[in-house]
C-alpha cells in the first residue's frame, strides 16, 4: 500500500503506507533534524552535513552535485531536499530514476517549524520529536520591534549579504535585529564594501558559512562598523539548531 502527499512546492510524492525507514538527506540542517529524531533511518547525507558531530552514514557528495548513483544504491524510501539548497535538475533526475524526493521551501522560522513537523511526523510517520516541541515554544509569538540593525555578509570578493525574504533575516528579526543591505534589494545582493561599512548598521555579523569568516579574515575590512563572529549554523540552519539559536544569539 502507498499514500500520496504533496511537498512544500506542491509536487505529489508517493510514499509507503508505513513509517519511512530509509532516508537520504541533501540538506545539512535537515540531516541534523532527521538524526535527532530517528537516527537509524538516515542512510545517506552530503559531505557538508556536519551535525551531529558523530554522524556516521554514507556520503553522497555535495548539495549542488549529489552522487545520484550512490543515492540509488542505498535504496532510500525518501530523499529530502530544499528549494534553495539543491538544484531542481538533480531533484528531477532522481524522480525520473523512480526515487521519491520531498522538497522543502523555507523562508521564515514559522515556515521551518511547520515544514519540519509535516516532514517528520506526517510524511515519515515518526513520533513528534521533543526538540521540535521546544523550538516551537521558544519561537512562538510575534516579531518584536527592532532594537539594532545588522549586516550579515555570506561571501567576500565579491561581497554578498543576507537580504529579504530569507530565513536568516526572519530569524534575526525575531530576535530584535533588523537585517540591512545598504539599500540593495534581493535575497542575497552583491554590495560594495564601502557601501557596507557605511550602511549605518550597528553591527556586522560574520558567520563561518558559507564563507568561513575568522578573526583574521573579515573584521579587518570594517573600519566604521563593529563586527562579531557567529556560528553560521545558528543563523542559517533550521532544525535542532533553532533551540540553540534562540538561547545563544539572544544572549
Instruction: Give the separation between CA 77 and CA 61, rounded to whole angstroms.
Output: 19
Can you read off the three cell numbers belonging to residue 127? 513520533
Percentage, residues of the chain above pLDDT 90: 96
User: What is the chain's length?
Assistant: 251
pLDDT digits (tens, 9 = 90+) for 35-45: 999 999 999 99
Read off the pLDDT band of 247 (50, 70, 90): confident
Using the predicted structure, report yes or no on whether residue 17 has a pLDDT greater than 80.
yes
What pTM did the predictor assign? 0.93
Instruction: Give the separation between CA 37 and CA 117, rounded to whole angstroms.
Output: 11
Can you read off the three cell numbers belonging to residue 68? 545520484
**Residue 110: burial class (beta carbons within 10 Å; 0-12, 13-18, 19+):** middle
Beta carbons of 24 and 68 less than 8 angstroms apart = no
Using the predicted structure, report yes or no on whether residue 20 has a pLDDT greater than 80.
yes
- Cα–Cα nearest to 240, from 99, 72, 113, 92: 113
CATH code assigned to 2-138: 3.40.50.1980
**Residue 80: burial class (beta carbons within 10 Å; 0-12, 13-18, 19+):** buried
Beta carbons of 46 and 31 less than 8 angstroms apart = yes
Q: What is the 3-state secondary structure (H, E, C) of 153-168?
A: EEECCCCEECCCCCHH
Q: Return the domain boundaries, the chain.
A: 2-138, 148-250
pLDDT digits (tens, 9 = 90+) for 27-70: 999 999 999 999 999 999 999 999 999 999 999 999 999 999 99
* Domains 2-138 and 148-250 alike in fold: yes
DSSP label of 28: H
Three-state DSSP at 212 gives coil
The CATH architecture to which 148-250 belongs is 3-Layer(aba) Sandwich (3.40)
Amino acid at each position: 500500500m502507498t499514500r500520496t502527499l504533496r511537498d512544500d512546492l506542491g509536487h505529489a510524492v508517493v510514499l509507503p503506507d508505513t513509517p519511512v525507514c530509509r532516508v537520504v538527506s541533501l540538506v545539512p540542517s535537515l540531516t541534523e533534524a532527521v538524526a535527532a529524531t530517528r537516527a537509524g533511518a538516515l542512510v545517506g547525507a552530503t559531505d557538508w552535513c556536519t551535525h551531529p558531530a558523530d554522524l556516521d552514514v554514507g556520503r553522497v557528495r555535495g548539495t549542488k552535485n549529489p552522487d545520484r548513483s550512490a543515492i540509488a544504491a542505498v535504496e532510500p524510501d525518501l530523499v529530502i531536499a530544499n528549494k534553495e539548497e539543491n538544484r531542481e535538475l538533480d531533484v528531477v533526475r532522481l524522480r525520473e530514476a523512480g526515487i521519491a524526493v520531498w522538497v522543502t521551501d523555507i523562508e521564515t522560522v514559522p515556515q521551518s517549524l511547520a515544514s519540519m513537523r509535516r516532514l517528520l511526523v506526517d510524511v515519515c510517520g515518526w513520533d513528534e520529536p521533543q526538540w521540535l516541541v521546544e523550538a516551537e515554544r521558544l519561537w512562538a509569538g510575534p516579531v518584536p520591534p527592532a532594537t539594532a540593525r545588522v549586516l550579515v555578509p555570506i561571501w567576500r570578493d565579491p561581497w554578498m549579504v543576507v537580504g529579504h525574504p530569507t530565513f536568516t533575516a526572519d530569524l534575526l528579526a525575531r530576535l530584535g535585529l533588523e537585517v540591512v543591505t545598504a539599500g540593495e534589494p534581493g535575497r542575497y545582493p552583491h554590495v560594495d564594501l564601502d557601501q557596507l561599512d557605511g550602511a549605518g548598521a550597528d553591527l556586522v555579523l560574520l558567520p563561518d558559512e558559507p564563507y568561513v569568516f575568522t578573526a583574521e579574515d573579515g573584521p579587518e575590512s570594517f573600519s566604521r562598523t563593529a563586527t562579531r563572529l557567529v556560528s553560521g549554523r545558528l543563523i542559517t540552519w533550521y532544525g535542532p539548531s533553532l533551540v540553540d539559536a534562540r538561547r545563544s544569539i539572544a544572549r
